[in-house]
């Protein structure tokens, strides 16, 4: 629905301008050009709006990763790690609000799903995508490996963007090396 999309877009813009602390439903309504009642018709508060935005980002990220992995040939399934990280980096640089919200960890570590940490939700989504890549392992080992890889990449990529709006290229390269090396060694026999 166009009205909800405008509210989410306004939320993203406002997050970039002032962060979560400065965000309010009133400001979102004003920026989106809707009545405050319209905001409350769909979202009870600013956290609910940022949750919807985080879920939208997760869907966009998943679609971009899926398209990239299905559109390129890799020598080994772990080579797709660079493509996954590149999509995250590109969203961080170009998608309004993503830099401020990521996948919601700025607001609540369980914003995407009240029963799981945000990184677990992302790891599960990436696991499902990677499991469809030829040669990828399946099962419990991939579950654990995806969780560890997402946590490790998240930490290093946060560091890469902490003082550099475009992301420190050397730290981004280190994140890729770290995750590829871990996954490559973890599943070397496969």
Domain boundaries defined on the chain? 57-186
**pLDDT tens column, 125-164:** 998 888 877 777 777 788 899 999 999 999 999 999 999 9
Global confidence as pTM = 0.90
Q: Counting beta carbons within 10 angstroms of the beta carbon of residue 21, is it exposed (0 to 12), middle (13 to 18) or buried (19 or more)? A: exposed
CATH number of 57-186: 1.10.357.10
Helices (H), the chain: 2-18, 25-32, 36-42, 46-71, 80-94, 98-101, 118-131, 140-162, 169-186
Mean of per-residue pLDDT scores for the chain: 91
**pLDDT tens column, 60-79:** 999 999 999 888 888 877 88
Mean pLDDT confidence for 170-186: 93
């Amino acid at each position: 629905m166009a009205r909800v999309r405008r509210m989410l877009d306004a939320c993203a813009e406002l997050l970039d301008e002032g962060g979560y602390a400065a965000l309010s439903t009133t400001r979102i309504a004003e920026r989106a050009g809707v009545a405050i009642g319209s905001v409350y018709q769909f979202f009870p508060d600013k956290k609910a709006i940022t949750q919807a935005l985080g879920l939208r980002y997760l869907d966009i990220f998943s679609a971009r990763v899926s398209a990239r992995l299905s559109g390129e040939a890799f020598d080994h399934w772990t080579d797709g790690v660079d493509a996954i990280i590149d999509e995250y980096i590109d969203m961080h640089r170009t998608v309004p609000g993503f830099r401020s919200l990521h996948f919601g960890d700025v607001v609540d570590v369980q914003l995407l799903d009240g029963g799981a940490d945000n990184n677990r939700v992302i790891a599960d989504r990436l696991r499902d995508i990677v499991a469809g890549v030829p040669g990828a392992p399946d099962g419990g080992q991939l579950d654990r490996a995806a969780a560890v890889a997402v946590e490790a990449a998240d930490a290093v990529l946060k560091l890469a963007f902490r003082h550099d709006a475009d992301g420190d290229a050397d730290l981004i390269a280190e994140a890729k090396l770290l995750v590829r090396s871990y996954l490559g060694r973890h599943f070397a026999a496969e």
